Amino acid sequence: MSVIKVCPPPSELCVIKTNIHCPEEGCRSVFKNSGNLDMHLSKHHKRKDILKKEDEVRCQYHCPVDKCPYNLNSRQFFKRFKYLKQHYLKVHAEKTFQCEKCLKGFSTEAAKHRHLRMCGIKFTCSCNHAYESYEALLTHAKRLSHTFDGKFKLYGKNVEHYLCPMKKGNTQRTAIFRKSKKCGRT
């Protein structure tokens, strides 16, 4: 098995493709990212070549930033291009999208929107130490075998959750739903 070291330029790592049209003739589907398109091609058009890995060639993707631990002169690398791209956008890319609440910057609008879900929330451990993110609280709790309120687990999910009022009789209760029409959100 041969190994190819790949170090794409920053201009290639900063490109964010959205509204990607299905290349199959007669199909009018449009996708937000290439992963969704690949899955569509595989499932709906029965394209076997899309998700298949190459067994004969293995790529090692490296970051173009010289002082990065994932650069070309390093032993560390990413196994997939998409992971290198995620790394570059989160760590090195220009942060042009700013949160209005805390003024933190993000390289993509999607990252800013993910952040807005949790901005201003304090994630508190059983030892009363507070963190800015669920991931930081989780790391702390695992390292020290601490516990934390189960409500914080919802913020660690990739699916957006909303608090929606739910009427039962004359009283209003609050229930947690996934994004759906039940909540009045689509």
Residues 147, 126 contacting (CB under 8 angstroms): yes
Instruction: Indicate the helix (H) or strand (E) that contains 174.
Output: strand 171-178
Residues 136, 93 contacting (CB under 8 angstroms): no
In tens, the pLDDT along 150-169 reads 777 766 554 333 333 333 44
Residues 115, 99 contacting (CB under 8 angstroms): yes
Residues 88, 78 contacting (CB under 8 angstroms): no
Show me where the domains of the chain are located. Answer: 2-91, 117-178
In tens, the pLDDT along 12-60 reads 898 877 788 999 899 999 988 878 888 898 888 888 766 555 566 788 9
Report pTM. 0.62
